[in-house]
Structure 1
């Protein structure tokens, strides 16, 4: 079992992925990832909702683009449908990135939890980004796992939407991951799985059910010394905004045994600054800016 105090490691992910693919007789060229030295000074590159700068967020094309751009991890957002299924969607309502109002006019609510999975699967989650993504569906957690396994890591965020408070969402995420043992065991062995949340209560609830999975706390403001010390007793990562991150915070986190992944950084000059300061991971809409991978010719190409 890898140490939960170590930052998530891409080098192990790569070796594991290549070994599995070779043993299975599968060519690895489509998902050929660069050696660690080719990445930005060993910093984990975390694709925010997939490569959401080049494809509609949290869709299959965004995840595939992140893999093509050699991201170390794909970050997703976990919510629950009306009929209890876990899906990958960020906003608390469906309005911004789907055609839900046109397809279901007059509904009293447009939250993910107001719709069954079957209803959600009828929505177009791609056209808002561009016509070539028309018809892209909302993905289940299981579908996301199918896309990333053996290819890259997964950083799953427990939705902070208020209507999930006290409904057991962290526990359900832990249960579903535990019920996918071939994925869970391989991901843990490879250091290719972590969970994060803005809520201490949710992060602790998940940690209590699945303590072997590294867990991180997202911060909308700079964490205090008291928060850092408390988190160091049970958490593995702190994931603050780039605007609140400096060398003092990074060094303090590391002294407490915490990895630090910052969000959401799209400016190359700020990326370079953060790499020089010693962050462990950078969450970005454009993973290729950090990995040096060229933009894919077709971000929604099938591999």
Structure 2
């Protein structure tokens, strides 16, 4: 499918998605801290990416084996309109693309077809144990986490590069059973560093929980609260005062706003942000965070 056709297809379901937004059962709180002494939710960053190659099905399986049901991933779009799971906008760091396609620098995802990306090895860079691991499509990723009964914190990565990706992602989530009230209630959050993209996602499906990656000024939080439910800053910005300021507001769905912080990979930092009152901690080593926070 060409990118033009993919966007056109997504646009063609706009009315259907709008109707879904209006008829969906209002969602309430995804997992959050019910009590002051409750441990934060631990999210496996790009899967359990400290132990397996990031954003692969192997990392999802590792998170599952470690006992974690929340996983985080990144979604982008290929040249021919397929949604794939990868963090970097270029394929160079985590695949053998330079070897297979030496003349196509800088190896941007949007310059390769899904079939071409499907040929790549996305595991050997991490360890020979994962040689041959593939870059998953979003569809295959959703199938895997559905089978594991896992929950998803999905990041729209650099959405400004992929016009219409918000609607296209919602369409694919819907087609794979991820936009029913069961999932929008406590199994799915969509986040991005791009505030306009978060707002678009909320406008398209108000029942869905959204998160903004970053730490807006406290004076700006009321504006963000109109279209997002989480403020998700780096751990150095997740101070007790900042978390308290976020918690003092209700998000776009009417629930208390939450703070999910990243990327915390050691026990000391995990305990610090836990004491600050964060609702969730995103980690490459989720077992380390769980042990440190009694999660």
Q: CA deviation at 1:291?
A: 3.0
Separation in 2, partners of 1:48, 1:239 = 13
Q: Which residue of 2 aligns with 1:74?
A: 71
Distance 1:286 1:190 in 2: 26
Per-residue deviation, 1:186: 6.0
Return closer, same or farther for 1:270/1:73 CA change in 2, 3 Å cut-off. Answer: same
Question: Separation in 2 of the partners of 1:137 and 1:279?
Answer: 34
Cα drift, residue 161 of structure 1:
6.2
> Corresponding residue for 1:260?
259
CA positional deviation for 1:48: 0.6
Range 148-157 or range 256-265, more displaced: 148-157
Contact persistence 2:238–2:278 (CA under 8 A): no
Residue 280 of structure 1 and its aligned partner are, at CA, apart by 0.4
Q: Distance in 2 between matches of 1:249 and 1:135?
A: 43
Query: Structure 1 residue 229 and structure 2 residue 227: aligned?
Result: no
Which of structures 1 and 2 has the larger relative contact order (alpha carbons within 8 angstroms, sep 6+)? 1
State yes or no: 1:140 paired with 2:150: no
In structure 2, relative to structure 1, the CA distance for the partners of 1:215 and 1:189 (3 Å cut) is closer
Gaps of 5+ in 2: 1-24, 250-255
Instruction: Find out whether 1:286 has 2:260 as its counterpart.
Output: no
Distance 1:212 1:232, change over 3 A: same
1:130-209 equivalences in 2 (<5 Å): 130-149=127-146, 151-160=149-158, 163-164=161-162, 167-180=163-176, 182-185=177-180, 187-188=182-183, 191-209=186-204
**CA–CA distance in structure 1, aligned partners of residues 32 and 222 of structure 2:** 27
How many Å separate the matches in 2 of 1:234 and 1:194? Answer: 13
Alpha-carbon shift at residue 179 of structure 1 (Å): 2.4
Q: TM (normalized to structure 2)? A: 0.82
**How far apart are 1:133 and its partner, in Å?**
0.3
Q: Tell me the number of residue pairs that the alignment of Structure 1 and Structure 2 aligns.
A: 260
Deviation, 1:71, is 2.0
Poorly superposed stretches of 4+, deviation over 3 Å? 1-4
Q: Which runs of 5+ in 1 are unaligned?
A: 12-35, 294-303
TM-score normalised over the length of structure 1: 0.80
CA deviation vs aligned residue, 1:185-223 (integer Å, no higher than 9, x gap): 26426501000000111111111212211000001xx32
Aligned pair in 2 of structure 1 residues 169, 211: CA closer, same or farther (>3 Å)?
A: same
Q: Secondary structure at the match of 2:211?
A: strand
1:110 aligns with 2:103: no
Q: Secondary structure at the match of 2:180?
A: helix
Deviation at 1:92, TM superposition (A): 1.0
